[in-house]
Amino acid sequence: MRVNSHRFCGLLLAAACFATTLTAQETVSTQTGKVKGASADGLIAFKGIPYAAPPVGDFRWRPPQPAKKWTGVRSAADYAHDCMQLPFPSDAAPLGTPPAEDCLYLNVWTPSPRAAAPMPVMVWIYGGGFVNGGSSPAVYDGSQFAKDGVVFVSFNYRVGRFGFFGHPALTKESKDGLLGNYAYLDQIAALRWVQSNIAAFGGDPHNVTVFGESAGGMTVHVLLTSPLAKGLFQRAIVESGTGRKGGMGGGPTYLHQSTGTKPSAEEIGLAFAKAKGITGDDAAALKQLRALPAEAVVDGLNMASMMKAASTYSGPMIDGKIETEDHVDAYTAGTQQHVPVILGANSLEMGFKNPNTKEDPFAQFGPKADAARAAYDPDHTGDYTWTTGAIFSDKGMVEPTRFVAGLLAQNQPVWEYRFSYVATSMRNEWAAGAPHASEIPYVFDTVKARYGAALTPEDEKAAQTMHAYWVQFAKTGSLNPPGLPEWPQYSPSTDLIMNFTAAGAVTGADPSKARLDLVMPQQ
């Protein structure tokens, strides 16, 4: 067989040019130095890029400081440490790295080759009750977003007492008053890094979508209302992170002042210090606190022990500068950022509690007990263990999501969803509904990492569908992906939502309306 030598040489030259271009795309110059990512399967992943200095030593309990510049090319092939914590054994998103206090790093996935025009950016904020979580879990892998033309970013932020801590000595030390909510400051610093650097990865800093689940979703509400986050993103998604004012914790914690229900974060910080044998509210006490080993600061705190640790751990607080008010107050006044928002909840967010009698779940409804029984047990199944969980779930997250959607809809485009799909392999165990966090691998299209050999084509299709809506939102700010049902904007007058079910993506009136109307607080 004769080969056209000119054509053959041309093909070799094209291949060489492509290899050179790909190699060039693997190395990106950020404002602090060059990083080299890893190419695979039509994308390049850059992991472990520092966006701030390590928050250790004298930088513990300070706002994130600028990352130091480096020379040469830094490898970005592997995740850095997730932030210091005591991992939660039954976490649905187990960490992929050992936790450490040196943890302020981020990751970027980008298509390869890149599009000629700047691409939309999505920034993920993980959940974990603000005491657990990290960016390394396999279900948070950003590959599918990159394959669909999105530049995806995830990052670590401080959790537990590293992320939220008040103490009078810190107040005295601070010159700018940015105190207490160090985790939120980390998140804002990561978003500022995106604004300054993402164009080098092919991303559009003027088309950024922030999205998070659980504590990450709660954070999105803070970002929508914090004066420090204005202009850092153009769209937002809240997954299972919406509550009414004060949430289920009995009201917010304030940095400097106690309330009728809660001590101040400073008082809680003093209690933690005292438990460690440290007294006083001066620089000497703060020096001792910063010298504590990281494990002593964690002190057994995680999702399983949060309630027991309430006297020595404040969690997020209203500090007046970073978080200025409850998000419901801001939405009622209309002072939030007026950007498009998706928000939703899963069909059975909360756990179960066995009732003492079959009447227990309905007693709380008083004269509406019969209506509640009809709404929660229309088929007279008598599964009252499920009923207690469903009522708790509706009160704690599903109804508040509808309420907040209605507030936001007064000022900006809003879409509400319900995630009701249960993986094929879990339908016996989760017969009552989709539990908290179970939507994440569908949003990311990482169901293979979550369910492994038990994955079915039906599960894969459900993931491809939900993922397509999130990608479409990031690209266009609308929710009408080709070949899928159109998702109408939310309005309290129509109460239309998107329900992700075993039958597919279904648009219609909220199927839980009767239940939600019953648990809705009197306005």
Q: Which active-site residues does the annotation give? A: 214, 349, 436
Tell the residue number behind the tokens 């932020």, with chain if given.
157
Q: How far is the CA of 250 from the CAs of 78, 247, 261, 286, 401, in angstroms?
A: 41, 7, 7, 30, 18
As a whole number of angstroms, the distance between CA 279 and CA 289 comes to: 10
As a whole number of angstroms, the distance between CA 121 and CA 111 comes to: 12
- CB count within 10 Å of CB 49 equals 24
- CB count within 10 Å of CB 223 equals 26
As a whole number of angstroms, the distance between CA 301 and CA 160 comes to: 7
Q: Which residues sit opposite 30 in a β-bridge? A: 33
Q: How far is the CA of 449 from the CAs of 137, 283, 453, 460, 501, in angstroms?
A: 10, 48, 9, 11, 21
- In this structure, the strands spanning 38-40 and 33-36 are unpaired
Residues 388, 392, 398, 402, Cα dihedral to 10°: 110
As a whole number of angstroms, the distance between CA 150 and CA 371 comes to: 47
Q: Which residues sit opposite 450 in a β-bridge? A: none
Q: What secondary structure does DSSP assign to 132-178, as a single string?
A: S--S--GGG--HHHHHTT-EEEEE----HHHHB---HHHHHH-SS--
Provide the H-helix boundaries in 56-214: 143-147, 160-163, 168-173, 182-197
As a whole number of angstroms, the distance between CA 107 and CA 443 comes to: 18
Q: What secondary structure does DSSP assign to 350-417, as a single string?
A: S-----SSTTHHHHTTGGGHHHHHHHH-TT----HHHHHHHHHHIIIIIHHHHHHHHHHTTTS-EEEE
Among the listed residues 136, 140, 111, 126, the one whose alpha carbon sits nearest the alpha carbon of residue 203: 111
Among the listed residues 204, 323, 303, 202, the one whose alpha carbon sits nearest the alpha carbon of residue 253: 323
As a whole number of angstroms, the distance between CA 268 and CA 312 comes to: 5
As a whole number of angstroms, the distance between CA 196 and CA 280 comes to: 41
